[in-house]
Amino acid sequence: MKTRFFNMKTIKNKVISGCMILLLLGCVPVMAQQQSAVVTGTVVNEKSEVLSDVTVMIKAELTDESYSALTDKNGAFIFKKLKAGENYEFTVSYIGYETTIIKKYLVKKNESNSVLVRLQPKSSSLDEVIVTTALGIKRQKRSLGYATTELEGSKLTSAMSNNWTDALSGKVAGLNLVRSNGGPSGSNSIILRGENNITGSNEALVVVDGVVINNGSGRVTGTGYKAQADADSPSDYGSGLNDINPEDIASVSVLKGPAAAALYGQRGANGAVIITTKSGSKQTKGIGVSFNSDFSVEQSYRFPKFQYEYGQGNGNAKYYSYNNSVDGASTKGTSSAWGPKFNGQLYYQYDPATQAGGITRTPWIGYPGAVEDFFELGHTFTNSLALEGGNENTQIRFSATRADNSWIMPNTGYARNTFNISANHKVNDKLRLSSNIIYTDKNSKNLPAVGYNNQTVMYWTAFMQPNAPLSWIKDYWAKGKEGILQNYPFSSNPDNPYLISYEMLNKSVRNGITGNIMVNYAFTDVLNLMLRTSLDYAYEARSQQRPFDTEKFKEGMYRTQNIFSQELTTDFLLRYNPKINRTWTTSFSFGGSTLKNRYLEDEIRADMLLFPNIYNLANAKNQLIAIPYRSNYAVNSLYALANISFKNYLYLDVTGRNDWNSVLATPSSTSNASFFYPSMSMSAIVSDMVKLPKAVSFLKLRASYAGVGSGRNVPYLTSVGYVAQSVYPGGLANPTTLANLNLKPLYTSSFEVGTNVRLFNNRLEFDVALYKSNTTNQILSAGLDRATGANSAIVNAGEVENKGIEVQVNGRPFKGTREFNWNVFATFSANKNKVLSMTDDLPELQLQSGPQGASAVIAKVGGSIGALYGIGFQRAPDGQIIYKDGYAQRTTQMIYLGNVTPTWKLSIGNEFRYKRLRLSILFDGQYGGSAFSMTHASNMTQGKIKETLPGRDDGMIGKGVIDNGNNTFRPNDVKAADISLYYESVGARENAEGNTFKTDFIKFREFNLSYDIPVNMAKRLGLQKASVGLYGRNLMIWSKWPQFDPEFGTLNNGTIDKGLESSQFPSTRTIGIKLSVGI
């Protein structure tokens, strides 16, 4: 096939003689001497991807006779019965692309006339961007009265992470990720636009090809344990959201406010993230195979600044002795490092060869780096193969991905297989069928336990002694007592970290299917019906095993959980798009859905084992304990949408939705179960309405109002029942979380105004949104005085106001050329949150509670829902810390320590392209947040970090004052008698203020360098296209946060808490390489 390449103004001519008369069926005959000819063509974009529905106009240059055609699914168009020997002019136009005109195209006789048209994206294409909005409805961005952000799939895969949602960081104004920080399967909560919902689910809705996955496979389920010193530790098993293969994602559309997500109803109250996966297309070149390979290495960094100057010992210890010796009593039992200075002096120390005290004295020296060296380099190897193809009526895409991960903690990681098939079939002009199915199989041999607990590795990091190298603890069993007695030479509080890694396993096998089947039927050109059934299904088998002689399980433990989750949704949408006239365009939609959610979890426990090292339920020493849980709920909904546009520059959307949610039904009433809410939004393209200064290329104003009700998605909060006490035959107890018999839906009303303005021929773009939302009747879980007999109660309470601004800036400092292009983008968001009212029942709500109860997140009227309170320093009126006997004094009252939510977030990205080389760099940061750090407290009280070095030899006089007792103060001049007690007075976990730090940071978030191999070279390799890339993630953090990542979350049973850090895992930086080929 001959092709001719046409650039914007390139025209090629050929003249051939001889023409024939072309007679069109039913048309008037024209010039009798001319011959008829056929012109076929294909329209592609700048990436050589075919474009369908492109308008191609052809006009004979002499006669002005013209025809038009649309390209089909394969980007192909055809004009039959043209006149050979005549010159034609092609006009090819498509939204988002520069209109391309091909002049003087000479149609040849008896020859296949074939044209390849390559469209270049319009620099000012933003006004015609197509956005996937709620319910999957595609709209022109200019018509929307609310803020959205769109990301191409490639933005998510250019620098891969274990959890693809990490790639959203810094790219969407107003998006906040709360990470569980829980290992290779770590979950993220996506929070959009502040927190209008004090507790409970304030995560954004996540929709994959029309399937909502939050509450099915996307549900984060806890192991029933809290992050701090509980009977066992939680592990993050991740959720189906992690398992989506980012290579399958075509685009992500982020709908931030309630107005945007109004059609998703109660579940969209916190915004929505809409993921569209790739679908197949007919191949014009090659065989439609693409292959991606990605290898990345993950390295831990930003460890606490451990000290290696003083060794193990209690306060003011003058010597060291492992076991009692002639030097003195044993000092091996303490967890602290307040012992003697390392001067190479000789002491009786641990002898790893005998696993006992050495019989000779050995030099007293520090062994720097033990904790750092415990962590390995993590690596992830991902290979993905996609096949696509089809014809005019049927297109299919299939992809298979395999990811193998080994994480930074020894013996942890996962392997994941993902298969995705997407099919489209046009049965006839009216009926179209499509289906998209994702199957995931994830297998984790061991996932780390998180939190501050004897059985976690991160707990151990604060207990390791500076006078011991890692090699001393690598043999984690006592010699000759393998499997029965663990070996850990120092304080008995932690378990040996190698024992934790290699023996205390948390396993998981998860199989999930997320998919839908959709039928589209076009009754007429203007009336269309969509019917769809979506299924989100997952089955997971988990187990936990603990060997003998561990901190919490002296005789071992084995537990299994079978977890089944299923959400089945059937919905329809009837769309009517009557054409009124050129001025007015309307569209009406009416839809409904019915959703059923089912969740089953069966846990079996053998909390003591008969024989060591055998992990099955037959090995239970006692009767097995069964802990079953079941839940069911349903939501039925009806909704309608009307879009009216005037002259394509004024747009109005009105929506209404009613939800019936079973979780709000009580044993005697369903009156609270139904709720209705409306939304209205407007968009005006001012630049099309009035003449603006030349500098302004585009100006859009938008405004919206939305009301959204929500009943949350947790069933059984409306009736009180006794809870089975599984270890006691026939045992029951009152619930510790109290239900609310009159639970009402919460209601958020939100106003938003915004503008999109583009200046200097579209080289600078601002998108600004201002919003204010008020949420009433919050459904909250509030901590109670336990004297009530319950831990917490579900209440309808309060009104919370959120006000904020989101700004997105795009710019092209240099006018792009074919050779060089530079794009800059930046996002800024700020949110202010205020509690306007509370309930009479509870004037203050304790939303989260920190370690040792010394700190808490408390909502009070006039305050914020992220307000952190805690015990702090006693201070003189001038703010100086009060000391007594040399030690800092603590308050008895909780004081305000800061806000766990940052005031603002900022990101700046740069993209450079030079010929085939692309470089992108992203920095982001946040300001104004604070958090409590348990890791810091633990390292302070145990003398493990450099911060505890001052005053070790010659005592410490804390900077502050002494209370004279008569409201006067004098400077502190008393030396603390015991240096360990001094640091405890300023840094113990009970002193929340002493361990609260700003979480402000700047991160070098992403770096990506890629090169497209020239087509000729690729062809020689038998490839259609190929590219290679090098990338990095989280390469640097600049922050005052004392260790690791200031952007942490704490996995606490089934939720990810903010602001209260409890033995976080190390922050990691990732460097990877990526290869993509197309065949």
Partner 1 sequence: MKRCQLFPFLIALLVFSSCKKDFMELNKNPNTLERALPKTLLAPALTEIVKFNAKQAESFGNELMQVHIDMGGSNAKPYRYDIPTSLAIAPYNSWFLQIPNFRDIYSGALYRLGIDSLGHNKTYMAISLICEAWVMSLITDTYGDVPFTEAGQAKEQKFLPKFDSQESIYLGLFAKLEEANTLLKTNADFPVDEQAADPLYKGVALKWRKFGNSLYLRLLLRASAKSVSNAPAKISAIVLNTTDYPLIDNNDASAILRWTGTVPYDSPFATTKTAAWNTRGYTNFFINNLKLWNDPRLAKWVKKDANNQYTGVPSGFLPSDNPPKGSSRPNTLQTEPLLGNMLNYSEVQFMLAEAAARGWITGAAKTYYENGITSHMTLWGLTLPTGYLSSAPIAWKDTDNLEAKLEKIHLQKYYSLFFTDFQSWFEYRRTGHPILPQGNGLLNNGLMPARLMYPVYLQSSNGANLRDAITRQGPDDINTKVWWQKP
In the region spanning residues 561 to 600, those forming contacts with partner 1, defined by CB under 8 A, are 570, 572, 574, 592-594
Q: 3-state DSSP call for residue 922?
A: strand
By rule CB under 8 A, what string of x and - marks binding of each residue 848-867 to partner 1?
-x--xxx-x-x-x-------
Interface with partner 1, residue 610, by CB under 8 A = no
Looking at the Cβ atoms of 123 and 636, the one nearer to partner 1 is 636
Interface with partner 1, residue 660, by CB under 8 A = yes
Q: List all residues 6 or more positions away from 978 whose beta carbon is below 8 Å from its beta carbon.
A: 315, 316
Looking at the Cβ atoms of 330 and 648, the one nearer to partner 1 is 330
Question: Among 806, 800, 753, which residue's Cα sits nearest to residue 777?
Answer: 800
Looking at the Cβ atoms of 152 and 841, the one nearer to partner 1 is 841
* The only residue of 421, 526, 652, 790 in contact with partner 1, by rule CB under 8 A: 790
Question: Among 408, 315, 313, 417, which residue's Cα sits nearest to residue 366?
Answer: 313
* The only residue of 552, 744, 772, 803 in contact with partner 1, by rule CB under 8 A: 552
Least distance CB 834 / partner 1 (angstroms): 18
Interface positions, 628-647, toward partner 1 (CB under 8 A): 628-634, 636-638
* The only residue of 115, 117, 563, 673 in contact with partner 1, by rule CB under 8 A: 673
Q: Which two tokens stand for residue 201?
A: 């689910």
Mark the segment that binds partner 1 (CB under 8 A) among 200-208, 765-773, 975-983, 1024-1032. Answer: 975-983
* The only residue of 247, 248, 551, 1047 in contact with partner 1, by rule CB under 8 A: 551
Q: What are phi and psi of 889, to 5 degrees?
A: -95, 145
Looking at the Cβ atoms of 234 and 313, the one nearer to partner 1 is 313
Least distance CB 1018 / partner 1 (angstroms): 44
Length reported for the chain: 1079
Asked whether 100 and 122 are in contact (CB, 8 A), the reply is no
* The only residue of 30, 38, 568, 625 in contact with partner 1, by rule CB under 8 A: 625
Dihedral over alpha carbons 1067, 1068, 1069, 1072 (to 10 degrees): -160
Q: Which amino acid is at 675?
A: F
Least distance CB 11 / partner 1 (angstroms): 47
Residue owning tokens 């530079």: 822
Q: 3-state DSSP call for residue 716?
A: coil
Least distance CB 211 / partner 1 (angstroms): 18
Least distance CB 977 / partner 1 (angstroms): 8
Interface positions, 300-329, toward partner 1 (CB under 8 A): 313-318, 323-324, 328-329
Asked whether 880 and 899 are in contact (CB, 8 A), the reply is no
* The only residue of 105, 463, 472, 599 in contact with partner 1, by rule CB under 8 A: 463
What Å distances lie between residue 335 and 283, 838, 981, 987, CA to CA?
66, 44, 14, 16
Q: Cα separation of 702 and 978, whole Å?
A: 65
Q: Which two tokens stand for residue 176?
A: 């906040």
User: Considering CB under 8 A, how many residues would be counted as binding partner 1?
Assistant: 129
Interface with partner 1, residue 528, by CB under 8 A = no
Mark the segment that binds partner 1 (CB under 8 A) among 55-63, 686-694, 785-793, 922-930. Answer: 785-793
Looking at the Cβ atoms of 529 and 650, the one nearer to partner 1 is 529
The single-letter DSSP state of residue 97 is B
Q: What are phi and psi of 332, to 5 degrees?
A: -80, -15
Looking at the Cβ atoms of 66 and 324, the one nearer to partner 1 is 324
Interface with partner 1, residue 785, by CB under 8 A = yes
Per residue, what are the HEC states of 36-58? Answer: EEEEEEEEECCCCCECCCCEEEE
Least distance CB 986 / partner 1 (angstroms): 14
Least distance CB 155 / partner 1 (angstroms): 37
Question: Among 131, 145, 237, which residue's Cα sits nearest to residue 182?
Answer: 237
Asked whether 670 and 718 are in contact (CB, 8 A), the reply is no
Least distance CB 365 / partner 1 (angstroms): 21
Q: Cα separation of 968 and 998, whole Å?
A: 31
Residue owning tokens 């010992």: 313
Interface with partner 1, residue 945, by CB under 8 A = no
Least distance CB 715 / partner 1 (angstroms): 6
Looking at the Cβ atoms of 368 and 843, the one nearer to partner 1 is 843
Residue owning tokens 């005019």: 392
Looking at the Cβ atoms of 185 and 941, the one nearer to partner 1 is 941
Q: For 732, what's the count of Cα atoms within 13 Å in the CB-facing half-sphere?
A: 6
Residue owning tokens 């992470």: 161
Looking at the Cβ atoms of 672 and 930, the one nearer to partner 1 is 672
Q: Which amino acid is at 1039?
A: S
Least distance CB 584 / partner 1 (angstroms): 28
User: Which residues on neighbouring strands pair with residue 827, listed in sequence order?
Assistant: 808, 907
Interface positions, 724-763, toward partner 1 (CB under 8 A): 724-725, 727-736, 738
* The only residue of 3, 345, 471, 623 in contact with partner 1, by rule CB under 8 A: 623
Least distance CB 99 / partner 1 (angstroms): 39
* The only residue of 93, 284, 493, 648 in contact with partner 1, by rule CB under 8 A: 493
Dihedral over alpha carbons 73, 74, 77, 78 (to 10 degrees): -110
Asked whether 892 and 853 are in contact (CB, 8 A), the reply is no
Interface positions, 396-435, toward partner 1 (CB under 8 A): 427, 431
